[in-house]
Amino acid sequence: MIGQEENILKTYFGYESFRPGQRQTIDKVIERENTLAVMPTGGGKSLCYQIPGMTMDGTAIIISPLISLMKDQVDALQSLGISATYINSSLEQEEQRARLQAMEGGQYKFVYVAPERFDSTFFVNVLRRIKISLVAFDEAHCISQWGHDFRPSYRSIVPTLSRVKNIPVTVALTATATEDVINDIQSLLGIADGNVVNTGFERENLAFHIVKGKDKGTYIRSFLNEHPNESGIIYAATRKQTDSLHDQLSKKGLSVSKYHAGLTEEERKAAQAAFIHDEKSIMIATNAFGMGIDKSNVRFVIHYAMPMTIESYYQEAGRAGRDGEHSDCILLFSPQDIQLQKFLIEQSLMDDTAKQKEYSKLQAMINYCHTHSCLTTFILDYFNDCPSGTTCGRCSNCLHRQERTDITEEAQMILSCVKRMGERFGVGMTAKVLKGSRDKKISDFRLNSISTYGILSAYTEKELTEWIHFLIAEQLLATEEGKFPTLKLNQNSVDVLKGKRQVWMYTAPIPSGEEADYQ
Ligand code: ADP
Instruction: List, as one string, the DSSP characters of 309-371.
Output: -HHHHHHHHTTS-TTSS-EEEEEEE-THHHHHHHHHHHHS---HHHHHHHHHHHHHHHHHHH-
CB 281 within 8 A of CB 231: yes
Asked whether 19 lines ligand 1 (CB < 6 A), one says yes
Q: Is the pTM of this model over 0.80?
A: no
The pair phi, psi for residue 492, each rounded to 5°, is -60, -40
Q: What is the pLDDT of residue 145?
A: 75
Q: How far is the CA of 313 from the centre of ligand 1 (A)?
A: 22
480-483 contact pairs (CB < 8 A, 24+): 481/356, 481/359, 481/360, 481/363, 482/356, 482/359, 483/342, 483/345, 483/346, 483/359
Q: How far is the CA of 79 from the centre of ligand 1 (A)?
A: 16
| Farthest CA pair distance, the chain | 83
How far is 460 from 397, CA to CA, in rounded Å? 23
- Cα separation, 416 vs 410, whole angstroms: 10
Q: Give the whole-angstrom CA distance, residue 231 versus residue 276.
A: 9
Q: Is the dihedral angle over the CA atoms 504, 510, 516, 518 positive or is it negative?
A: positive
pLDDT for the residue numbered 45:
93
42 lines ligand 1 (CB under 6 A): yes
| Ligand 1 pocket member 431 (CB < 6 A) | no
Tell me which H or E stretch contains 113: strand 110-113
Find, among 376, 368, 380, the residue nearest to 331 by Cα. 368
> Tens-digit pLDDT profile for the chain (519 aa)?
457 888 999 999 999 889 889 999 999 999 999 999 999 877 889 999 999 999 999 999 999 987 777 888 899 999 999 999 999 988 999 999 999 999 999 999 999 999 999 999 999 999 999 999 999 999 999 898 766 667 778 888 999 998 898 999 999 999 876 788 899 999 999 999 999 999 877 888 899 999 988 899 999 999 999 999 899 999 999 999 999 999 999 999 999 999 999 999 999 999 999 999 999 999 999 999 987 677 889 999 999 999 999 989 998 999 998 877 899 999 999 988 998 898 889 888 888 888 888 999 999 999 999 998 899 999 988 887 665 557 899 999 998 876 778 899 999 999 999 999 999 999 999 999 999 999 999 999 999 999 999 999 999 999 999 999 999 988 899 988 777 789 999 999 999 999 999 998 876 444 333 333 322
Any atom of ligand 1 within 6 Å of the Cβ of 12 = no
Q: Is 45 in the pocket of ligand 1 (CB under 6 A)?
A: yes
Query: Atom 5 (ligand 1): residue with closest C-alpha?
Result: 44
CB atoms within 10 A of CB 216: 18
Q: Is 47 in the pocket of ligand 1 (CB under 6 A)?
A: yes
